[in-house]
Amino acid sequence: MARVSQEHLDARRRQILDGAALCFARNGFHATSMQDVLKEVGLSAGAVYRYFRGKEELIGAIVGEVLEWIQETFEAAAKETPPPPPDELVGRALAQVLSRKAGAQEGEGSYFPRLIVQVWAETLRNEELASVMHQGYAKVRVAWVKIVEGYQAAGMMRGDIPADHVARVMVATAQGFAAQLALFDEVPIEALQDGLRGLMSMGRPGG
């Protein structure tokens, strides 16, 4: 019997992850069954369970992958000297993640914002998923801290504020915008970038 190529295995795993993520974003984790996932991806139970033992493992894989994409984006930015300003950087990161998580059906748009809100809610009750999120968030924050330190070293930002505190706020900005996209749909990334530029332009009265 001919051996299945690694390329084929990777493509099949990608197909399952994308289909499952779309189902979860549409209906939530609890309302989505493995039968729903099988129907979405058009595969047999045996084909899917070859890669994932069940819904919880699928959820963990999807979350870990998204966090890895975000981490890679910020780590690459941290290597630039100086790093791109926050409005450019956050906009770029969101655009890259959203483009990877485009909806599978025409006109559906990106399902990533809806998916990530589902993930946040599930994290509150699922200890294993919470562990994945905590580890991923810690890595993302480390990348952000390096970026902030780059700003401070280049004289682009005050150096008397802890870089970790600034990093947490910048991560929260991206998270908050993702929540807006999930709740209100058509919020352009340019609005986030303009808002950040406005906040960055503020000066103290009489300063």
pLDDT in tens, 109-123: 577 888 888 888 888
Separation of CA 19 from chain center = 17
Taking 60 as the threshold, does the pLDDT of residue 103 lie above it? no
Report the predicted TM-score, pTM, of the whole model to 2 decimal places: 0.78
Taking 90 as the threshold, does the pLDDT of residue 164 lie above it? yes
Q: What is the largest CA-CA distance in the chain?
A: 79
Could you give the 3-state DSSP secondary structure of residue 79? Answer: coil
Taking 90 as the threshold, does the pLDDT of residue 56 lie above it? no
**CA distance readout (Å), 179 to 16, 60, 105, 113:** 25, 20, 22, 6
Taking 50 as the threshold, does the pLDDT of residue 66 lie above it? yes
Mean pLDDT of all residues in 115-142? 87
pLDDT bucket at 206, cuts 50 / 70 / 90: low
Taking 80 as the threshold, does the pLDDT of residue 100 lie above it? no
How many other C-beta atoms are found inside a 10 Å radius of the C-beta of residue 188? 10
Q: Which residue has the higher pLDDT, 159 or 178?
A: 159
pLDDT bucket at 25, cuts 50 / 70 / 90: confident
- Got the DSSP string for 126-164? -HHHHHHHHHHHHHHHHHHHHHHHHHHHTTSS-SSS-HH
Beta carbons of 41 and 34 less than 8 angstroms apart: no
Beta carbons of 34 and 48 less than 8 angstroms apart: yes
For the record, the structure tokens of 178 come out as 């993702």
Q: Which residue reads 């699928």 in tokens?
A: 58
Mean pLDDT of all residues in 153-160? 93
Taking 80 as the threshold, does the pLDDT of residue 106 lie above it? no
Q: List CB contacts of 13: < 8 A, sequence separation 6 or more.
A: 51
